[in-house]
């Protein structure tokens, strides 16, 4: 068992996910869960912001797609940006650490819960900006609590391209930049212009350009890694993205599996609606679209990221192991402090090429197959996709963590690769 996390000392990820929820579908919803949690009449309104506040312990399991997680000591539901800012500022000023959660689609929370303030982000709003926008570009400002897939559906309905391959990703728009979500050849990084952040150090709201967020493969300066402090400690309040009006056509298809399913060559364009429909079907076939009746979807999606390793190390793996080259940062700028500049600029040392490996292939070839379950456990590998760890009904966070550690140990023993978990871990160690 893990120690019960308490307030600031728990150091949860500042923003797990920020979409409104419901019991039947944790990846999207309304205030139903909050109303249930506060049905004992102990809910009060914040005098400063109007946010709903409950001192009743709220079961976090009801708000995550894993369906695990003990109670939070208190809950604040913020439906406007002002309410969200006030709630987070008040918690920080009290030297406490808030746990922000919404869709709960990328989190694993301890069975002991969270002895602090759970802030549920239920903000909404999609605004089109027309001033100083290039022709053919559609600029949108989106509140953190908006459903990500709802935003994709809105874009596709209007014939706008740029995020159609990101259909079906659960959770919220506020969580999207933290790990630079991506799938089927598209990443948020390619459309993100800026984010509105509430900075922990200054307690001020600032607009930060996307190129200052250190966006990379499932990471950013906003993300905590293995419990470490993020480089930029802040809460996402909203995002700004640029889409393209291609007359209803998608961006060029850039992922082989998607191209095959669509029956086209890489680089071709199709109707954005056709791309979205195909992506949703692909995700559903892997148990990656939430379905309350299907335990294969009671997960956090892909539990491990695809490891990026040196090319020389990759050559030690079996030839059949899939690998893809990783773009090097050839345009990286070297900054030399003025007081250290000697008049000579040294040529940077050459960097070894890196490649990305398939975590799913490594797991399967380490002997952990779809449907695998440790004896007596209620957690299992999905029957549809090796990368998904699932709750088969009644699983605990400890059981899911135990399965994750087993998978890690098998892959490390077989291939020398330590897989890194993708979900945010709160009070849980992998």
Residues assigned a catalytic role: 218, 302, 422
Q: What whole-number distance in Å separates Cα of residue 24 and Cα of residue 353?
A: 46
Kind plus residue range of the DSSP H or E element containing 166: none
Q: What whole-number distance in Å separates Cα of residue 248 and Cα of residue 270?
A: 8
Q: What is the CB neighbour count within 10 angstroms for residue 376?
A: 6
CB 39 within 8 A of CB 29: no
Strand 21-22 vs strand 25-30: parallel, antiparallel, or unpaired? antiparallel
DSSP 296-356: GGSEEEE-BPPPEEEHHHHTTS-TTS-EEE----TTPPPP--GGG--S--PPPPPPPPEEE
Q: Tokens 């706008």 correspond to what residue?
A: 160
Take residue 67 and report the two structure tokens written for it.
């369906």
Q: Tokens 């680089």 correspond to what residue?
A: 267
Q: What whole-number distance in Å separates Cα of residue 117 and Cα of residue 426?
A: 13
CB 177 within 8 A of CB 220: yes
| Three-state SS sequence of 123-146 | CCCEEEECCCCCCCEEEEEEECCC
Residue from 122, 135, 138, 152 nearest 19 by CA:
122
Three-class SS of residue 389? strand
Take residue 329 and report the two structure tokens written for it.
């940062």
DSSP 7-54: HHHH---SBS----EETTEEEEEESHHHHHHTTTS-EEE-TTT--EEE
Q: What whole-number distance in Å separates Cα of residue 286 and Cα of residue 184?
A: 13
CB 424 within 8 A of CB 224: yes
The Cα angle at residue 17 between residues 11 and 19, in degrees rounded to 5: 145
Three-class SS of residue 254? coil
């Amino acid at each position: 068992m893990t120690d019960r996390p308490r307030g600031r000392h728990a150091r949860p990820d500042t923003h797990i996910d920020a979409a409104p929820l419901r019991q039947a579908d944790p990846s999207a919803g309304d205030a139903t869960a909050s109303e249930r949690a506060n049905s004992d009449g102990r809910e009060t309104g914040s005098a400063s912001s109007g946010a709903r506040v409950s001192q009743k312990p709220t079961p976090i399991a009801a708000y995550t797609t894993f369906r695990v997680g003990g109670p939070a000591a208190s809950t604040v539901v913020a439906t406007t940006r002002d309410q969200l800012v006030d709630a987070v500022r008040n918690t920080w000023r009290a030297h406490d650490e808030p746990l922000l959660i919404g869709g709960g689609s990328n989190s694993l929370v301890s069975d002991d819960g969270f002895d602090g303030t759970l802030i549920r982000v239920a903000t909404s709003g999609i605004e089109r900006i027309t001033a100083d926008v290039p022709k053919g570009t559609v600029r949108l400002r989106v509140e953190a609590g908006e459903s990500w897939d709802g935003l994709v559906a809105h874009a596709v309905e209007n014939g706008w391209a740029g995020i159609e391959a990101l259909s079906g990703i659960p959770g919220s728009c506020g969580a999207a930049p933290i790990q630079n979500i991506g799938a089927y050849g598209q990443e948020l990084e390619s459309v993100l212009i800026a984010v509105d952040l509430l900075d922990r150090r200054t307690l001020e709201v600032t607009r930060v350009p996307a190129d200052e967020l250190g966006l990379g493969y499932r990471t950013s300066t906003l993300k905590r890694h293995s419990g470490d402090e993020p480089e930029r400690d802040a809460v996402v309040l909203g995002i700004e993205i640029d889409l393209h009006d291609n007359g209803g056509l998608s961006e060029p298809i850039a992922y082989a599996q998607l191209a095959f399913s669509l029956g086209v060559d890489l680089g071709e364009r199709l109707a954005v609606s056709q791309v979205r429909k195909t992506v949703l079907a692909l995700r559903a076939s892997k148990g990656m679209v939430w379905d309350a009746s299907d335990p294969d979807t009671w997960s956090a999606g892909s539990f491990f990221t695809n490891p990026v390793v040196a090319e020389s190390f990759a050559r030690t793996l079996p030839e059949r192991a899939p690998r893809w080259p990783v773009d090097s940062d050839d345009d990286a700028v070297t900054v030399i402090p003025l007081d250290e500049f000697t008049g000579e600029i040294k040529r940077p040392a050459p960097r070894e090429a890196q490649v990305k490996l398939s975590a799913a292939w490594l797991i399967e070839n380490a002997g952990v197959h779809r449907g695998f379950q440790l004896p007596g456990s209620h957690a299992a590998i999905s029957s549809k996709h090796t990368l998904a760890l699932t709750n088969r009904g009644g699983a605990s966070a400890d059981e899911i963590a135990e399965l994750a550690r087993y998978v890690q140990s098998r892959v490390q023993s077989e291939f020398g690769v330590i897989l890194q978990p993708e979900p945010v871990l709160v009070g849980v160690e992998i």
